[in-house]
Amino acid sequence: MSQRQACGLMRISRNGYRYRSQRNDEALRKAIKEKAGDRPRYGYRRIAVLLRREGWRDNRKRIYRIYRELGLQVRKRKRKRTARARKRPLVIPEGANMRWSMDFMSDQLADRRRIRTLNIVDDFTRECLHIEVDTSIPASRVVQVLEWLEALRGLPVQIVMDNGTEFTSLEMDKWFYDHEGTDACFIDPGKPNQNAYIESFNEKFRDECLNQYWFGSVEEAQMIAEDWRIDYNTFRPHSSLGDMTPEEYAETQSCLRSASPPSGMPVFQRNMLTNSAVGLT
């Protein structure tokens, strides 16, 4: 079939069929790929904002077209369906070290061994105080981490957590009994929205750290998690804090700043530091 007959059958003009765009998108393509490579979980809207800050004047539709052609779409992860229930308002703490939240997460190494992380967050400043990573984190290990944080930062008035076996164990019960100034606040079973601060942090930690790296060993996972924690506290803007970082917000509120363990410190050395700090050695 000739081109004239094919265009007539499809009811399009031959001029339109023969048209080829004369615009050169290579520079814009390169800039979009660089931005998406640096921040793989940023969508095209946020990339468009970053490009405009650098002086690009291309509209969002053109950026979106090139973004799709390069196959850079951020995949949406499916969420589990939950039953609708009456929500309770979450009380906002009035200052730093007033309330902490902590929770466990899990992931897998390259050799398919399971690892766990213990995440602890200050609900007021949104600072991540610590991320403990290992193949097993029993209740005694949770107590060591809390004692280590007590020596470096002090303890909060309240710690919010779920009803996991590590948090409801005899070791944790004894620890809270010995520290009368800190109350344990357990959420209702099956109500993670009552611990929304740590759930929000866990979502970011999963999306931007655990799902972005393939851990070869526990030590590598500890190092990457600590680097991400520092970046989260000092570089990543937080929308609920007026696009400030948790560290900047803590400084503006004249809050205590979180202390962090040295990067790459082995677990047994950190435990020795903890015991020494609390007078156990």
Exposure b/e, 97-115, CB count within 10 A at least 16 = b:
bebbbbbbbebebeeeeeb
Answer whether residue 263 shows pLDDT above 70. no
Q: How far apart are CA 229 and CA 263, in angstroms?
A: 10
pLDDT of residue 255: 43
Specify the fold of 99-277. Answer: Nucleotidyltransferase; domain 5 (3.30.420)
The model's confidence at residue 267, banded by pLDDT at 50, 70 and 90, is low
Convert the pLDDT of each residue in 226-253 to its tens digit: 999 998 998 888 878 887 889 889 888 8
Which pLDDT score, from 0 to 100, does residue 241 have?
Answer: 85
50-75 pLDDT, tens digit per residue, is: 888 889 988 889 899 888 888 887 76
d(CA 180, CA 159): 12
What is the C-alpha to C-alpha distance for residues 116 and 273, in angstroms, rounded to an integer? 21
Least confident of 166-170, 181-185, 189-193, 263-267: 263-267
**pLDDT band, residue 82 (cuts 50/70/90):** very low
Q: Is the pLDDT of residue 276 over 70?
A: no
- Report d(CA 223, CA 238) in Å as an integer: 23
> 264: pLDDT confidence band, cut at 50, 70 and 90?
very low
- The pTM of this model reads 0.66
Query: If you compute the radius of gyration of the chain from its CA atoms, what whole number of angstroms results?
Result: 25
Write down the pLDDT at residue 90. Answer: 61
Residue-wise pLDDT for 182-230, tens only, equals 999 999 888 888 888 999 999 999 998 999 898 999 999 999 999 999 9
- Measured CA to CA, the distance from residue 55 to residue 250 in angstroms comes to 32
Residue located via tokens 């393939």:
214
Tell me: pLDDT of 274 over 50.
no
Per-residue confidence (pLDDT) for residue 23, from 0 to 100: 78
